[in-house]
Amino acid sequence: MKKLGGKVLFLDKDDINTDELIPAKYLNEDSKKALGPYCLEDLSAPGFDRARDLPGKGAIVSRANFGCGSSREHAPWALEANGINVVVAESFARIFRRNMYNCGMVAAELPKAVIEELFSRFSGQETVMELDAEKGEILFSSTRAGILKLPLSIGEFELAMVRSGGWVEFAAKRY
Amino acid sequence: MGKTLAEKVFETHVVDKPFEDLWVLKLDTVFCHEITTPIAIADLQAKGMDKVFDPKKIKAVIDHVSPAKDSKTAEQGKALRQWARRQGIEDFFDIGRNGVCHALFPEKGFVRPGYALVMGDSHTCTHGAFGAFAAGVGTTDLEIAVLKGVCAFKKPKTLKIELKGALPAGVYPKDAMLAVISALGMGGGTDRVLEFSGPVVDSMSMEGRMTLCNMAVEAGGTSGICMPDTTTADYLWPFIGPEGEGLFATKDEALAEYSKWSSDEDAEYDRILGIDCSTLEPLATYGYSPDKVKPVREMGEVKVDQVYIGSCTNGRIEDLRAAAAVLAPEVRKGRKVHKELRAILAPATTEVYAAALREGLIEIFVQAGFCVSNPTCGACLGMSSGVLASGEICASTTNRNFSGRMGKGGMIHLMSPASAAATALEGRISVARISAAKKGGEV
């Protein structure tokens, strides 16, 4: 299974929508990679400076209803083009969540109090997340705040998607 | 324990449950447009699976940018067009015969009670107005949908929304739906089907029901849904009756068949939300999310740079009638839209455009100083035909007011077509004279 996670981008805002993840004017691009430079272009979130904060990240931690709005799978693709393959949030919009797993990426829910703890303990520091889908475990660490290991409940379907690399690989054989 | 309509669709369409709580449904139809489909087609080609499960069940349209605005969008149109020809998809609607997907496909009679359908577009929930389970999906789900005719869902719970009373003059389905979204919040309907019922829905046209169901996703809903009734059967009659496919000899037969696609009296709901529509007044959004809603009366002085009437939410003939009814008396006095704003009308489909011409509505809009555009999604998502400049404000009949949605740095206030027309005249957000406009939108 591919490595999941990396350096964490904290986005302290509810309802981050897919227009913010990738504006519609770039939906005329014909490749997933071409979306990379425009990811999060229109996002305004407390403390977020795109040029400073996006490069080199592998994971996002955010708040409630992440990925709402348009069904565009360009949103996970734009994240993937920037090396991000995990989003951890209090909750997700249905289509975005499914799109992430359909691409073999992870959209993991954690309770509000845990998300709050992650923000208060780790945001503003260089934090690394490692996610082990098989073991059902997420690890956060930073030099100053130490290590926090959390259980992750991942469904059978979601695990199968992460293992197989996505829905096309799974469904094209089965149906 | 009885079942909801959505549960009945799930139970009659399930073909596999590969995992706990994952229902793979057989699809009755799959809709496609030129933005989300070409990458699915390219991926299928790359994998050596350039096929479709049934060309008769796939409907495709170029609508998001129509006509093409640049080489990249022209390539997207070309990819969809060539695929439709290669796969023998006869119901492909090219530029000139097209319209915004969620207005066009119902108009063609492609959505029927009891259907399960998907499209790579979040506003697919619109089609639930016909008593169908209709869900927006991403490109990967769409890819398998066109290839295999199936799609997987977690079985959604149903949230019942009872619209009670009656809509007062000047208050429209859009206002009722903004009230619903405000009550639920943006994530309040996530993994839920939003079932609309009550006297207001019973007396509402299919167009109005589509406006309600269209915005289910703005509260996170998987699909909107309404029970099929005589209004549904009347709308579908040209397609299902003897003049069409001849599925039924009489409307009573159709109704008897469609009545099985109703929620049982003792169905179990996740939640029931009642809204007394008699006390509603015209509403508008403020801020950058569709659940931030307040009465227009409380909006204060909001000067507007652009008015936009159109989209899958409110670009249908009834919407044009309602807006024109507000404009007409003033236009007759020689008045035009406010000189410091521009107003754009994009009829949702070619047929809506033709009907508006026949009814004299286009002349009213043109005389009022509207720029009458062709059918396209265009400005609604900031792709073409009415993009905002930074700092500009738009009063719009569309569905999303996200930051940057209609152009970087722009601000959108969502409202009904009647309110948008009043705003166009006044130059600031207003509902002046809309309750005096004749009911039913006569001009």
Please write the tens of the pLDDT for every residue from B337-365. 999 999 999 999 999 999 999 999 999 99
Unique residue bearing structure tokens 């998809």: B89
Instruction: For residue A17, give the 3-state DSSP assignment.
Output: strand
- Could you tell me if the ipTM is greater than 0.85? yes
**H/E stretch holding A116:** helix A112-122
| Of B125-134, B377-386, B433-442, minimum mean pLDDT range | B433-442
Q: What pLDDT, on the 0 to 100 scale, is given for residue A31?
A: 87
pLDDT band at B371 (very low <50, low <70, confident <90, very high): very high
| B136 with A71: Cβ contact below 8 A | yes
Instruction: For residue A57, give the 3-state DSSP assignment.
Output: coil
Q: Which of A25, A44, A157 sits opposite B403 (nearest CB)?
A: A44
* DSSP 8-state symbol, A118: H
Pairwise CA distance, residues B278 & B199, whole Å: 11
- Which of A70, A79, A174 should be substituted to probe chain B, the one whose Cβ sees the most B Cβ atoms within 10 Å? A70
Q: What pLDDT, on the 0 to 100 scale, is given for residue A3?
A: 83
Mean pLDDT over B327-342 rounds to 98
Nearest to B159 by CA among B115, B224, B232: B224
Mean pLDDT over A51-79 rounds to 98
Q: What is the pLDDT of residues A107-149, one digit of tens each?
A: 999 999 999 999 999 999 999 999 999 999 999 999 999 999 9
Instruction: For residue A44, give the 3-state DSSP assignment.
Output: coil
How far separated are the first and last CA of chain B, in Å rounded? 49
The sheet carrying B133-136 orders its strands as: B92-93, B58-61, B29-33, B116-119, B133-136
Nearest to B412 by CA among B431, B387, B432, B376: B387
Residue-wise burial string across B153-169, b where 16 or more C-beta atoms lie within 10 A, e elsewhere = bbbbbbbbbbbeeebee
Whether B283-441 and B5-227+262-274 are alike in CATH topology: the answer is: yes
| A19 with B381: Cβ contact below 8 A | yes
pLDDT band at A1 (very low <50, low <70, confident <90, very high): low
Chain B residues whose CB is inside 8 A of the A22 CB are none
Show which of residues 35-54 on chain A sit within 8 Å of chain B, judged by CB atoms: 41-42, 44
* DSSP 8-state symbol, A125: S
Give the pair of three-digit tokens for residue B133. 């389970």
The alpha carbon of residue A155 is apart from the nearest alpha carbon of chain B, in Å, by 8
**What are the C-alpha distances in Å from B420 to residues A89, B172, B307?**
37, 12, 6
Q: What is the pLDDT of residues B269-316, one digit of tens each?
A: 999 999 999 999 999 999 999 999 999 999 999 999 999 999 999 999
Q: Where are the domains of chain B?
A: 5-227+262-274, 283-441
Pairwise CA distance, residues A65 & B351, whole Å: 37
Mean pLDDT over A149-163 rounds to 93
Q: What is the pLDDT of residues B123-172, one digit of tens each?
A: 999 999 999 999 999 999 999 999 999 999 999 999 999 999 999 999 99
pLDDT band at B1 (very low <50, low <70, confident <90, very high): confident
Pairwise CA distance, residues B177 & A156, whole Å: 36
Q: Assess A32–B contact: CB distance below 8 Å, yes or no.
A: yes
Average pLDDT of chain B?
97
Q: Which of A32, A44, A91 sits opposite B190 (nearest CB)?
A: A91
Q: Which of A25, A64, A65 sits opposite B382 (nearest CB)?
A: A25
Class at the top of the CATH hierarchy for domain A4-174:
alpha beta
Q: What is the pLDDT of residues B59-95, one digit of tens each?
A: 999 999 999 999 999 999 999 999 999 999 999 999 9
Pairwise CA distance, residues B191 & A93, whole Å: 8
Q: What pLDDT, on the 0 to 100 scale, is given for residue A165?
A: 87
Three-state SS letters, chain B:
CECCHHHHHHHHHEEEEEECCEEEEECCEEEEECCCHHHHHHHHHHCCCCCCCCHHHEEEECCCCCCCCCHHHHHHHHHHHHHHHHHCCCCEECCCCCECHHHHHHHCCCCCCCCEEEECCHHHHHHHHHCCEEEECCHHHHHHHHHHCEEEECCCEEEEEEEECCCCCCCCHHHHHHHHHHHHCCCCCCCEEEEEECHHHHCCCHHHHHHHHHHHHHHCCCEEEECCCHHHHHHHHHHHCCCCCCCCCCHHHHHHHHCCCCCCCCECCCEEEEEEHHHCCCEEECCCCCCCEEEHHHCCCCECCEEEEEHHHHCCHHHHHHHHHHHHHHHHCCCCCCCCCEEEEECCEHHHHHHHHHCCHHHHHHHHCEEECCCCCHHHHCCCCCCCCCCCEEEECCCCCCCCCCCCCCEEEECCHHHHHHHHHHCECCCCCCCCCCHHHCC
* CATH number for domain B283-441, candidates 3.30.499.10, 3.40.50.150, 1.20.1260.10, 3.40.50.620: 3.30.499.10
Q: Which of B35, B382, B403 sits opposite A20 (nearest CB)?
A: B403
Residue in B closest to A99 by C-alpha? B138
Show which of residues 117-156 on chain A sit within 8 Å of chain B, judged by CB atoms: 155-156
Unique residue bearing structure tokens 């309600």: B212
Q: Which residues, in sequence order, are bridge partners of residue B24?
A: B16, B152
| B42 with A65: Cβ contact below 8 A | no
Pairwise CA distance, residues B144 & B357, whole Å: 40
The alpha carbon of residue A171 is apart from the nearest alpha carbon of chain B, in Å, by 7
| B400 with A42: Cβ contact below 8 A | no
pLDDT band at A30 (very low <50, low <70, confident <90, very high): confident
Chain B residues whose CB is inside 8 A of the A69 CB are 122, 217, 400, 402
Q: Which of A29, A93, A172 sits opposite B72 (nearest CB)?
A: A29
> Is B273 in contact with B161 (CB distance < 8 Å)?
yes
Instruction: Using the predicted structure, report yes or no on whether residue B441 has a pLDDT greater than 80.
Output: no
Pairwise CA distance, residues B436 & B169, whole Å: 7
Give the pair of three-digit tokens for residue A121. 């303990």
> Is B150 in contact with B18 (CB distance < 8 Å)?
no
Q: What is the DSSP string of A156-173?
A: HHHHHHHHHTSHHHHHHH
**3-state percent helix, strand, coil for chain A, nearest multiple of 5:** 35, 25, 40
CATH of domain B5-227+262-274: 3.30.499.10
Q: Half-sphere exposure of residue B223, counting CA atoms within 13 Å on the CB side?
A: 29
pLDDT band at B443 (very low <50, low <70, confident <90, very high): low
| A175 with B138: Cβ contact below 8 A | no
Q: Which of B15, B140, B191 sits opposite A102 (nearest CB)?
A: B140
Residue in B closest to A170 by C-alpha? B144
| A28 with B72: Cβ contact below 8 A | yes
Please list, in sequence order, all residues whose beta carbon lies within 8 angstroms of the beta carbon of residue B220, skipping any fewer than 6 positions away.
A65, A68, A93, A94, B184, B186, B187, B188, B189, B190, B191, B192
> Is B147 in contact with B51 (CB distance < 8 Å)?
yes
Pairwise CA distance, residues B305 & B436, whole Å: 25
Chain B residues whose CB is inside 8 A of the A23 CB are 382, 404, 408
Nearest to B177 by CA among B396, B422, B399: B399
Instruction: Using the predicted structure, report yes or no on whether residue B438 has a pLDDT greater than 90.
Output: no
Residue in A closest to B68 by C-alpha? A28
Please list, in sequence order, all residues whose beta carbon lies within 8 angstroms of the beta carbon of residue B358, skipping any fewer than 6 positions away.
none
Q: Which residues, in sequence order, are bridge partners of residue B199?
A: none
- Which of A25, A27, A167 should be substituted to probe chain B, the one whose Cβ sees the most B Cβ atoms within 10 Å? A27
- Which of A79, A94, A167 should be substituted to probe chain B, the one whose Cβ sees the most B Cβ atoms within 10 Å? A94
